[in-house]
Amino acid sequence: MSELHTALPAGAAAPTIPAPDADRDAIVATAIGRLITGRAIPFLGPGALAGAAEAVGVPASPEAVAAALNRFTMAPGRIRTNMWSVAQYIEQRRHRRTLVANMADIFANPVPAGALHRALAALDRLPMIVDTWYDGAMREALAVRGDWVEIQGVTRALETGDIWWRAYAPGGGEVTAADAGAAPLVLYKPHGAVVPARNFLVADSDYVEVLTEIDIQSPIPDTVVERRAGRSFVFLGCRFDDQMLRTYARQIAKRSAGPHVALIDDPDALTRNERRFLADQMIVPVAMDLGTFTGRLEEATAALA
């Protein structure tokens, strides 16, 4: 039994509500300890930007991306708030290159690395960081070290070969799968990112083949599969209120070692599907804001220095 199991209250192995306050601190302390020792993997959602994105005019939710895309090409009302459908509409009406240019424009302003990104970059035993948004803040935070490789999911719409992803060195040059496997740290961006090469999985069509193959893990890089084995995940700034988000989280964490932990700012905002997903995937929801969590992570890291 893992130490995270022992930190959980009785009956919390398949949680349906956030952990009680009495158990929260122990669960978070255990999760932080696992991050520091490399036995847990941070999984970042757009909420991890904690206002920094909005400050530079970059969207920090799928709904905000949909709104930004609508400023280029207005989609029909029935799909107007769905990022994946709006992107598909633009691709069909205006061409794929137009969609890529629109996304690059939307994410053109660099999002500065925040305290959470810098705290994670300072953890020298982390084998992997999963970052599911399109910004480059985590890449910026990692610029202080040179022992990492970034792997980004790529759309097959613009590819001629059998390719699911590309890997990049800290300087932005493309590297091989062997280079990625040998790196002490992998930054995994499953949906792509604006830097260094404007890779975006965002339209419905981008995911057709991915979702067909993802259950047998073909789109997941081998080194990601290897690094998640025996480790748990700590979900930071994530929501699971769309089937696409739930599918990716489930498949990326597949065959890892739960239970996992998810920080939830507002537990009352969780949908029924989100609560069911958390329970099914053995993800323990903890009511804590990212600022508090980051402060505790920094304190725990400093105590070991």
Query: Any idea what the Cα angle at residue 263 is, between residues 288 and 164, rounded to 5°?
Result: 155
What superfamily would CATH give domain 3-53+112-303? TPP-binding domain (3.40.50.1220)
- How would you class 292 by CB atoms within 10 Å of its CB: exposed for 0-12, middle for 13-18, buried for 19 or more? exposed
Query: Domain-by-domain residue ranges, the chain?
Result: 3-53+112-303, 62-106
pLDDT in tens, the chain (305 residues): 456 655 554 444 445 467 777 799 999 999 999 999 999 999 999 999 978 998 999 999 999 999 999 999 999 999 999 999 999 999 999 999 999 999 999 999 999 999 999 999 999 999 999 999 999 999 999 999 999 999 999 998 777 677 899 999 999 999 999 999 999 999 999 999 999 999 999 999 999 888 888 777 889 999 999 999 999 999 999 999 999 999 999 999 999 998 999 999 998 999 999 999 999 999 999 999 999 999 999 999 999 98
∠ Cα 107 222 168 (to 5°): 40
Q: Quote the CA–CA distance of 228 and 40 in Å, as a whole number.
A: 8
pTM score of the predicted model? 0.94
DSSP element (H, E) containing 193:
strand 192-193
Structure tokens at 303: 């105590």
